[in-house]
Amino acid sequence: MLIEEDESQATSAPVKLMEAKKDIQNAWLLMFFMLIGLNASWVFAQSLTSDIEVNKEGVEHQTTEAFEVPDMMLMSKQVPAEIICSSSLDPGKTANGTNVSWKLSDSRGKIVHSFSGKVGDGCNAKLLLQPGLHRMTTTVEYGVQIEQTVKMQVWKGLSKEGHIIASMMAFLFPLPTILAAHRRGKRIEHDVPIARARRYEDWETIHREMEDRDRSATEIHDLNPYLGKQASLDQSYVLTKPTEEERPTTKDVPDIAPVSQPKADDTGTMKGLVDPLSVDERIQKVGDIYDLMKDDD
Query: How many residues are recorded in the chain?
Result: 297
Q: Confidence class of residue 280 from pLDDT cuts 50, 70 and 90?
A: low
Contact by Cβ (8 Å): 123, 102:
yes
Average pLDDT of span 116-133: 92
Cα(67)–Cα(148) distance, integer angstroms: 13
| Structure confidence at residue 261 (pLDDT) | 53
Angstrom distance (rounded) from CA 9 to CA 232: 43
Per-residue pLDDT of 50-66, as tens digits, reads 999 998 887 777 889 99
The helix or strand, by DSSP H or E, that contains position 53, with its residue range, turns out to be strand 50-55
The mean per-residue pLDDT over the stretch 208-225 comes to: 75
Residue range 252-281: average pLDDT? 54
The whole-number pLDDT of residue 129 equals: 94
Query: What was the pLDDT predicted at 255?
Result: 57
Ramachandran area for residue 70 (φ above 0: left; ψ -120 to 50: alpha; else beta): beta
Does 236 score more than 50 pLDDT?
A: no
- Is pLDDT larger for residue 210 or for residue 158? 158
What is the mean predicted confidence (pLDDT) over 41-56?
Answer: 92
What is the reported pLDDT for 214? 79
Report whether pLDDT(103) > 50. Answer: yes
Question: How much is the pLDDT for 104?
Answer: 95
The answer to whether the predicted template modeling score (pTM) of the entire model surpasses 0.75 is no
Please report the pLDDT score of residue 260 as a whole number.
54
- Please check the confidence at residue 199 and state whether its pLDDT lies above 80: no
Residue 73 has pLDDT above 60, yes or no: yes
Q: Are 85 and 100 within 8 A, CB to CB?
A: no
More confident residue, 55 or 254: 55
Topology annotation, domain 49-154: Jelly Rolls (2.60.120)
What is the CB neighbour count within 10 angstroms for residue 146?
21
> Which residue, 80, 58, 53, is CA-closest to 136?
53
Which has more pLDDT, 151 or 196? 151
Instruction: Report the C-alpha gap between 104 and 78 in whole angstroms.
Output: 16
**Averaged pLDDT of the chain:** 77
Whether the Cβ atoms of residue 163 and residue 42 lie closer than 8 Å to each other: yes
In this prediction, residue 149 carries a pLDDT of 94
pLDDT band for position 291 (cuts 50, 70, 90): confident
The rounded percent of the chain whose pLDDT value lies above 70 is: 65
| Per-residue confidence (pLDDT) for residue 238, from 0 to 100 | 46
> pLDDT value at position 288?
73
Q: What is the pLDDT of residue 242?
A: 53
Amino acid at 72: M
Q: What mean pLDDT do residues 215-242 have?
A: 59
One-character DSSP codes across 180-235:
HHHHHHHHHHHHS-HHHHHHHHHHHHHHHHHHHHHHHHHHHHHHHHHHTS---S-G
- Report the pLDDT value the prediction gives residue 138, as an integer from 0 to 100: 93
Alpha helices in the chain (DSSP H): 2-47, 159-172, 175-191, 194-227, 286-296
The angle, 0 to 180 degrees and rounded to 10, between the axes of the packed helices 2-47 and 159-172 is 170
Rounded CA-CA distance 127/112 in Å is: 8
Select the more confidently predicted residue: 55 or 4: 55
